[in-house]
Amino acid sequence: MKINAAKQKMLRGEPAFGYSAKLGSPVAAEFLGHSGVDFVMLDGQHGSWGQDSLIQGATAVCASPAMPFARATYNFFPLIGQLLDAGILGIIVPMVNTIEEARAVAKACRYPPMGERSYGWGRALTYGDDYPNWINDQVFVAVQIETVQAVENAQAILAVPGIDGCMIGPADLACSMGFPPKEAPKREEHVRALERVILACRNTGKIPGIDTGASESVVRRIEQGFIFIPMGSDVKFLTSGAAAGLEIAKQAVAKS
């Protein structure tokens, strides 16, 4: 049996921290997994993963202490099943706006009688022959709340059996509200929307999460009550590290 350590932490009310792997590089994903985070989220929506590389990415993360999570490209039964068959232990589904869409996510993620996932698996069998006996309990299923409509329906969405929690997309939520994402921290309506989703999680006993985008905002998000916390990506680490190194070189030249 494989214990989803990240999910178990969140069920105890403890924050679980993770990084997003967007480059489509299994090697980069493996390095993220060895950084000490609780999970690595292979980003099928905004990342550069193909079907084959995603399986390699899942394998790479499984070679680290981190739990292999993935964001689906969109809410589509066969795609979600392929991620699970690859050994993914956490599924995040974008743009879930209604109770019907949330039900579709829940059905796709768990074997009968809890859901309608097709009975079969691929590299997930590396977890052992008992995989189908425990995966329904260990898989973490989160829907993304990232539109005005989703916020309005948040409590109904989160009350769906089989949905473990959510991940707010603050940038898309800002766009849905009619202003640029950079204005979100200063807009009262955006703050109130986050609070409404957190309350919906409390009322339904589900796990509140948010895509922080960067680790410097983690403290504020924890204070707000979020415990599922992706906090940066391989793309950002690469570009920011490269830019910082060049800036040091430029300063050295300027002083010479």
Q: Which residues are catalytic?
A: 46
Cis, bond preceding 113 (omega within 30 deg of 0): yes
- Give exposure, 52-68, as e/b (b: 16+ Cβ within 10 Å): ebbbbbbbbbbebebbb
CB count, 10 Å around CB of 238?
14
DSSP letter string, 11-56: HTT--EEEEEE-S--HHHHHHHHTTT-SEEEEETTTS---HHHHHH
Provide the CA 57 distance to its chain's centre, in angstroms.
Answer: 15
d(CA 213, CA 14): 20
Residues 207, 16: contact at Cβ < 8 Å? no
